[in-house]
Amino acid sequence: MNTQRQVLVVDDQEINRKILIKILESDYDVITAENGEEALSILHSVGEGISAILLDIMMPILDGYGVLEVLAKDAFLSRIPVLVTSQKDGEDSELKALNFGASDFVSKPYNADILKKRLNNLIVMHEATTTVNILKRDVLTGLYSKEAFMHMVDLRLKREMNKKYDIVALDIVNFKLVNDTYGVEEGNKLLGYLADKLEIITKKKHNLCARVYADQFLLFMERTESYLECMVDDIESSMIAYPVDMKLHVKFGIYNVDDINVNVNAMCDRAVMAVKSIKSDFNKQYAYYDDSFREKMLVEQEITNDIDLALKDNQFKVYLQPKYNILEGKLAGAEALVRWIHPEKGFMNPGQFISILEKNGFITDLDIYVWNKTCEYIARWIKTGKKYVPVSVNVSRKDVYKQNLPEILMDIVTAHGLLPKHLHLEITESAYTENQEQLLSVVEKLKEQGFIIEMDDFGSGYSSLNMLSEFPIDILKLDMKFIQNSGSNIKNRSIMSSVIDLAKKIDLSVVAEGVEEQSQVTMLKGMGCDMVQGYYFAKPLTEEEFRNRLMSEPVII
Ligand code: C2E
Ligand code: CA
Ligand code: CA
């Protein structure tokens, strides 16, 4: 693990600096300065990261004693141990240096082994006796702890007011899944790997990095041109290179430090808030904090607080949007879409709460509620009207991580006296790219049980065409964007047409959603699409409205 300590070598003679680098470079990250003034300027900008100073006494501009004098007055820098490296010219100078605050003395010419031993002893003793240092490093990764990080950021902001900085919070998407699937040890390995990359990135420019807990990291970065894009690319490719059977992504939340009077802890919280805000947003890799966040977080909190009661109180209503067979124009199915009739907030569309529930884990409770309600409807139609169409329910990508999903779904259909074929399961495309192995095993099981699997939102994310043959799906649901952009965009139209062709070749049915116009229906018919869903046919309807259609219209299954 790349957690080499940094030492600062201060000597005006190039040859001396070279000798010291040669002795130390295998154990330390060595920085050099040619005189006292340069040393102080380095210490003032990155002093917090330095474990020890090797200081020559006789130097032009500002000598070793001068440096020691300045250090003694700085509450933080005075804690860094100093090993004086001078020509032996009597015990007086040695004593003088010690009086000025030096910790120890080695004289030229150097004995490499003695010098290394002394330096090591000094650092180890210093770190063991300073409580600040005990808290300073995260044991697992060797990065700074949050406390040490905040302290250093505070000092740096006060000292270097002429520069612009950002606090960046990082988060590994689905880190918990790595832990759950491969074990904590593998999870720790991944954290160490990322920590090493971050350390290399930050050290180059004297920036800082810390691990807060679990997979949450914080960086303090000087805001230079396009540093963010470079870093995001750099880390993204490191994650792709990581040898594990899962797509790993890192997300970033950025807080621009424009007002140094904001407390550093609050700055860190804001960076974390920014990264959390895009946790389940598949298309965003980074987000900046702005003041609207506070408001958003409050709303999220309210929704989280209300969900339990809402489920018990039947505040959720399941609407049904018809699907039509395109060739015969007959009703052929429906999609169950949830709405929340909130006692204070009123009618809420899923866009207002699904992603929040996915983030805090309540989505499965809601989905189970929706699956139950849907089965209740179908069972009633069969019983009272002797007629039904299969209904597709949405399966959140979070549900897929439940090992017992097949049992849960099977129990629900049998409890209502139905068969798995009565339900279609819409699994969103992004779930297929996140954790293919886990998903494959769950989907295979669901299919064996007789459920019909639809890949939802196809074309909206990173999926590839060969995924279609790898996953045992039955139906492909083209993302709405395809249809909505098809009018003006010829390229889009031809892509859509070849996707439909390919799907047919491997025996998949194709559903197009978001169909709003007659012209789109005609186009889709020409391309060989099987089913259509959209406002052109009907908006999502209440169960009663849908039942009326079902009972009065011809149906094809
Ligand atoms: P989705 O699964 O892609 O569902 C289709 C969305 O498109 C629905 O939005 C539907 O009302 C809307 N839509 C249908 N036809 C048209 C059209 O012609 N034009 C346009 N512009 N939109 C159309 P809705 O109901 O707001 O749901 C949004 C998303 O919320 C769904 O997207 C789905 O991802 C999620 N969702 C809805 N209900 C549930 C649920 O019970 N569980 C889970 N996990 N997610 C759900
Ligand atoms: Ca859907
Ligand atoms: Ca969809």
Q: What is the pLDDT along the chain (557 residues), one digit of tens a residue?
A: 445 789 999 999 999 999 999 999 999 999 999 999 999 999 887 776 788 999 999 898 889 999 999 988 876 788 889 999 887 666 677 788 888 888 888 888 889 999 999 999 888 887 766 545 546 778 889 899 888 899 889 888 887 788 899 999 999 988 988 888 899 999 999 999 999 999 999 987 789 999 998 899 999 999 999 999 999 999 999 999 999 888 899 999 999 999 988 889 999 999 999 998 888 787 899 999 987 888 888 888 999 999 999 999 999 999 999 999 999 999 999 999 999 999 999 999 999 999 899 988 899 999 999 999 999 999 999 999 999 999 999 999 999 988 899 999 999 999 999 999 999 999 998 888 777 888 899 999 999 999 999 999 998 876 667 788 888 999 999 999 889 888 878 888 888 999 999 999 999 999 999 999 999 999 999 999 999 999 999 999 999 999 999 999 999 98
* Ligand 1 atom 38 nearest Cα: 337
Whole-number pLDDT of residue 131: 47
CA nearest ligand 1 atom 17, residue: 514
pLDDT of residue 1: 42
Closest approach atom of ligand 1 to CA 477: 3
Cis peptide before 109 (omega within 30 of 0): yes
What pLDDT is recorded for position 467?
A: 81
Residue 89 has what pLDDT? Answer: 67
For the Cβ of 425 lying below 6 angstroms from any atom of ligand 1, the answer is no
Q: Which residues surround ligand 2, an ion (CB under 5 A)?
A: 394, 426, 456
395 CA: nearest ligand 1 atom: 44
Distances (CA, A) of 315 to 369, 372, 374, 437, 528: 11, 15, 15, 36, 40
349 lines ligand 1 (CB under 6 A): yes
Distance in Å, CA 344 to ligand 2 centroid:
27
Cβ of 399 below 6 Å from ligand 1 = no
Question: Is the Cβ atom of 456 under 6 angstroms away from ligand 1?
Answer: yes
Give the ligand with the smallest distance to the CA of 533: 1
Give pLDDT, residue 246: 82
Ligand 3 centroid to 148 CA: how many Å? 46
Residue 322 φ/ψ region, left for φ over 0, alpha for ψ in the -120 to 50 degree band, beta for the rest:
beta
Q: Does residue 520 have its Cβ closer than 6 Å to ligand 1? A: no
Q: How far is the CA of 303 from the centre of ligand 2 (A)?
A: 22
The structural domains of the chain, ordered by start, are 6-134 (3.40.50.2300), 146-289 (3.30.70.270), 299-551 (3.20.20.450)
Rounded Cα–Cα distance for residues 53 and 39 (Å): 9
**Rg (the chain; Cα; Å):** 32
Cβ count near 315 (within 10 Å): 16
Best substitution site from 457, 513, 531 to test ligand 1's pocket, by max atoms within 8 Å of Cβ? 513
Question: Is the Cβ atom of 322 under 6 angstroms away from ligand 1?
Answer: no
Q: Could you tell me where the beta strands, DSSP code E, fall in 311-419? A: 316-325, 330-342, 346-348, 391-395
Per-residue model confidence (pLDDT) at position 32: 96
DSSP states of 467-514 as a string?
HHHHS--SEEEE-HHHHHHHTT-HHHHHHHHHHHHHHHHTT-EEEEE-
For ligand 1, the distance from its centroid to the CA atom of residue 396, given in whole angstroms, is: 12
Tell which residue, 275, 323, 63, has the closest CA to residue 169. 275
For residues 424 and 429, what is the distance between their CA atoms, to the nearest angstrom? 15
Query: 317, 337, 357, 454: which to mutate for ligand 1, most atoms within 8 A of CB?
Result: 337
Is 514 touching ligand 1 by the criterion CB < 6 Å? yes
Which of 280, 323, 354 is the pocket-test mutation for ligand 1 (most atoms within 8 Å of CB)?
354
335 CA → ligand 3 middle, Å: 10
Does residue 306 have its Cβ closer than 6 Å to ligand 1? no
Residue 535 Cα: closest atom of ligand 1: 18
| CA separation for the pair 64, 413 (Å, rounded) | 81
**Cα 105 to Cα 34: distance, rounded to the nearest angstrom:** 19
Ligand 3 centroid distance, CA of 477 (Å)? 7
Tell me how far apart the alpha carbons of residues 378 and 435 are, in angstroms, rounded to a whole number: 32
By alpha-carbon position, which residue is closest to atom 23 of ligand 1? 514
Residue nearest to atom 46 of ligand 1 (CA): 394
